[in-house]
Chains A and B, each alone.
Chain A
């Protein structure tokens, strides 16, 4: 079974520039999550999709972050313009039966973003 695919693996940009991350979940997984993990902290949910609809984006800084999941499969997360505090690892995760008590998250390898 192929895992969650993410790209790029690393990205270095200057503040005020824009950046985009891509994620392809495990085939058949209806729920896709984007998490932000700042060094020394746990993953923080940015946005959760169920198929191509947004379930929760309450912690997404909408003035600069946007995300879409076209056709309910792969997803793109964009930051424009980037700030220094956006430096973090951006993790994409997916799950099959989100409302099952034992359903775990499958994580991609993440994109490490450095904003200079």
Chain B
């Protein structure tokens, strides 16, 4: 079992729709959860982080965390073609200072 699992996709949504990306993790000692966006041929860039159970909103993005279920998700509202990218879930064990990445979900937003 991988430490961080994501739906590989590809996930395709029409422009303006909500895209839902999911991630599960196995290390119960994980304390921080990050969503990175990676455009093809580019490096990952941070979109959001969350460390408390519940929802966290930032513009069109909402991160959701459920530590009991070891589940974290990212919702993208009003999806735009520029959101087309691979979304990486990263889980951090703060004590170890180590971040572990999932394999990413590729999102395509069709105009």
Contacts and interface: CB of A to CB of B under 8 A. Distances in A.
Interface stretch (B11-19, B45-53, B71-79): B45-53
Q: Which range holds the interface residue count of chain B?
A: 20 to 34
A104 B34 contact: yes
A40 B94 contact: no
Given A100-B94, A101-B31, A43 B49 contact: no
A50 B98 CA distance: 11
| Interface majority SS (helix, strand, loop, mixed), chain A | loop
B68 interface: no
B107 interface: no
Contacts, number: 59
B98 A56 contact: yes
A42 B104 CA distance: 6
Interface string A48-88: 10100001100000000000000000000000000000000
Given A91-B43, A101-B94, A107-B44, A43 B101 contact: yes
Interface string A83-106: 000000001000000111111110
Contacts of A35: 101
A56 B32 CA distance: 19
A55 B97 contact: yes
Interface residues of A, number: 26
Interface string A7-43: 0000000000000000000000001010100001111
28 contacts: A33-B99, A35-B101, A42-B4, A42-B6, A42-B88, A42-B104, A43-B88, A43-B101, A45-B98, A45-B100, A48-B97, A48-B98, A50-B97, A56-B96, A91-B44, A98-B97, A100-B94, A101-B32, A101-B94, A102-B49, A102-B51, A104-B34, A104-B49, A105-B44, A105-B46, A105-B90, A107-B44, A110-B43
Interface of A: 31, 33, 35, 40-45, 48, 50, 55-56, 91, 98-105, 107-110
